[in-house]
Amino acid sequence: MATDLAKFAEDNGVKYFMISFTDLFGGQRAKLVPARAIADMQEEGAGFAGFATWLDLTPAHPDMLAVPDPEAAIILPWNKEIAWVPANCVMEGEDVAQAPRNVLRRLIAEAAEEGMHVKTGIEAEFFLLTPEGDAISDASDTAAKPCYDQQAFMRRLDVIREISDYMLEMGWNPYQNDHEDANGQWEMNWDFDDALATADKHSFFKFMTKTVAEKHGYRATFMPKPIEGLTGNGCHAHISVWDAPGAAAKTNVFAGEGEGQTGELGLAEKGKHFLGGIMKHASALAAITNPTVNSYKRINAPRTMSGATWAPNTVTWTGNNRTHMVRVPGPGRFELRLPDGAANPYLLQAVIIAAGLSGVRSKADPGKRYDIDMYAEGHKVRGAPKLPLNMLDAMRAYDRDKGLKAAMGEEFSAAYLKMKGQEWDSYVSHFSQWERDNTLDI
């Protein structure tokens, strides 16, 4: 933690700062700034040509300035002369409205005005592949049910241990690491935190994991479904709301007495309505939580080799049961299982708050709880919406959801739909082997 980055550099032997911002597609962009120049940069920001990134800016726009958030600076555990600092995008003295970290900061402030401080933990699953990215890096990792495989773990201990050591060093309170449900897949968990802190850590985790994997000769990917037929990369979010931010938080306002089906599971009225907002906006928020063409190969997928996809296909919620979109594993929190590894760390948190706030304001009801195995009995559920089947469906659902669009910000929503629309157009104009195989002889 630092308020004066020049002093921070002096005190810690930091020679360079990596001033970093995240664009609409989740890409992290950075400039490496020598410590001698950081005092001015902290004041004015590092200059970028916004058009060169995915932010819906033109070549004619003036310089976009990335102003580092000194409270969020992290010394790279693997190169202690460099500190990474997430930045807020500013243009001509105003926040760039569509920049993801700004969208999140605005929603956090709105929720705080209503006494709500969202804390989240995320489970950012990833695969370790060969450098080419087309195969699992461990040729011996072939079990039909590889989850928690102890021997496969030992073969990648060097990578996982190194990342875990770094998280311990950074004070993230990591508490478990495991081989996940797909061959070549991993999950590492650390403590939940305020939404902005979690978003920064999520960004840094992706950066760190990719870097450490590269060092060991592998390629880490958070792609939602990198290998056909295997379980995909989820990014489940555990959500609770507190009375104050940071260490001042004393009371979980989701926990406590509540009525009805949510109350039985230990969700108080605010938790119930927040969940109601998530349920109400689910199809639209998928455009943010599941933002790529490939995302829809994870949700709505046929059964995987391990026997389950662990991903939802319908907008339902339940108690401690992983076959639904939302699981209430215990009192005072719930798990949103929809997001995937491609979700933008800032927009993921932002859309959770936007949908949840809308639910609290409108006293939304989450609807009926289904205590069934959705994979086996999902066909018995009547009236629950199916999740979007592809990225275009999700974008259309987002575009139709005027409340969510407004809550995320009209400028953001317009920019996002425009950029993602271009991505969709690029995808549909791409010719695939499948088309030839299925159409050539028609």
If the CB atoms of residues 56 and 335 are measured against Mg ion, the closer one turns out to be 335
Residue 180: CB minimum distance to Mg ion, A: 5
Residue 187: CB minimum distance to Mg ion, A: 5
β strands within 308-348, DSSP E:
317-318, 326-330, 333-336
Q: Is 77 strand, coil or helix?
A: coil
Question: Does residue 373 contact residue 381 with C-beta atoms inside 8 Å?
Answer: no
Question: Does residue 107 contact residue 357 with C-beta atoms inside 8 Å?
Answer: yes
If the CB atoms of residues 51 and 153 are measured against Mg ion, the closer one turns out to be 153
Would you call 177 exposed, middle or buried from its count of C-beta atoms within 10 A (0-12, 13-18, 19+)?
middle
CA–CA gap between residue 244 and residue 24 (Å, rounded): 29
If the CB atoms of residues 91 and 342 are measured against Mg ion, the closer one turns out to be 342
- Considering only residues 131 through 170, tell me which ones interact with Mg ion, judged by CB under 5 A: none
If the CB atoms of residues 194 and 340 are measured against Mg ion, the closer one turns out to be 340
Would you call 257 exposed, middle or buried from its count of C-beta atoms within 10 A (0-12, 13-18, 19+)?
exposed
Q: Is 127 strand, coil or helix?
A: strand
- Considering only residues 66 through 125, tell me which ones interact with Mg ion, judged by CB under 5 A: none
If the CB atoms of residues 187 and 200 are measured against Mg ion, the closer one turns out to be 187
99-107, 167-175, 181-189, 325-333 -> range binding Mg ion (CB under 5 A): 181-189
Q: Which residues touch 169 (CB under 8 Å, ≥6 apart)? A: 77
Residue 219: CB minimum distance to Mg ion, A: 20
HSE on the CB side for 67, CA within 13 Å? Answer: 14
Q: Is 20 strand, coil or helix?
A: strand
Residue 174: CB minimum distance to Mg ion, A: 15
Sign, CA torsion 424/426/429/430 = negative
If the CB atoms of residues 282 and 311 are measured against Mg ion, the closer one turns out to be 311
User: Which residue's beta carbon is nearest to the bound Mg ion?
Assistant: 187
If the CB atoms of residues 48 and 186 are measured against Mg ion, the closer one turns out to be 186
β-strands 82-91, 16-22 pairing: parallel
Sole residue written with tokens 């999140």: 104
If the CB atoms of residues 67 and 122 are measured against Mg ion, the closer one turns out to be 122
182-190, 216-224, 349-357, 433-441 -> range binding Mg ion (CB under 5 A): 182-190
Residue 123: CB minimum distance to Mg ion, A: 5
114-122, 184-192, 363-371, 381-389 -> range binding Mg ion (CB under 5 A): 184-192
The number of residues that bind Mg ion (CB under 5 A) is 1
Q: Among 433, 156, 202, 239, which residue's Cα sits nearest to residue 340?
A: 202
Ramachandran region of residue 246, left (φ > 0), alpha (ψ -120 to 50) or beta? left
Residue 222: CB minimum distance to Mg ion, A: 12
Question: Does residue 355 contact residue 36 with C-beta atoms inside 8 Å?
Answer: no
User: What binding mask, one character per residue, do residues 277-296 give for Mg ion by CB under 5 A, x or -?
Assistant: --------------------
If the CB atoms of residues 187 and 340 are measured against Mg ion, the closer one turns out to be 187
Q: Among 107, 309, 97, 120, which residue's Cα sits nearest to residue 224?
A: 309
26-34, 185-193, 400-408, 433-441 -> range binding Mg ion (CB under 5 A): 185-193
Does the protein bind Mg ion through residue 335 (CB under 5 A)? no
55-63, 180-188, 297-305, 391-399 -> range binding Mg ion (CB under 5 A): 180-188
147-155, 162-170, 187-195, 294-302 -> range binding Mg ion (CB under 5 A): 187-195
Residue 391: CB minimum distance to Mg ion, A: 23
Residue 299: CB minimum distance to Mg ion, A: 15
Residue 155: CB minimum distance to Mg ion, A: 20
Does the protein bind Mg ion through residue 340 (CB under 5 A)? no
Q: Among 211, 173, 204, 189, which residue's Cα sits nearest to residue 124?
A: 189
Q: Among 391, 295, 385, 387, which residue's Cα sits nearest to residue 343?
A: 295
Does the protein bind Mg ion through residue 187 (CB under 5 A)? yes
Contacts by 204-210, CB closer than 8 A, 24 or more apart: 204/74, 204/84, 205/124, 206/28, 206/124, 206/345, 207/28, 207/84, 208/77, 208/78, 208/163, 208/166, 209/124, 209/126, 209/163
If the CB atoms of residues 185 and 316 are measured against Mg ion, the closer one turns out to be 185
Residue 185: CB minimum distance to Mg ion, A: 8
8-16, 179-187, 266-274, 385-393 -> range binding Mg ion (CB under 5 A): 179-187
Residue 234: CB minimum distance to Mg ion, A: 6
If the CB atoms of residues 337 and 405 are measured against Mg ion, the closer one turns out to be 337
Q: Among 106, 96, 94, which residue's Cα sits nearest to residue 22?
A: 96
Residues that bind Mg ion (CB under 5 A): 187
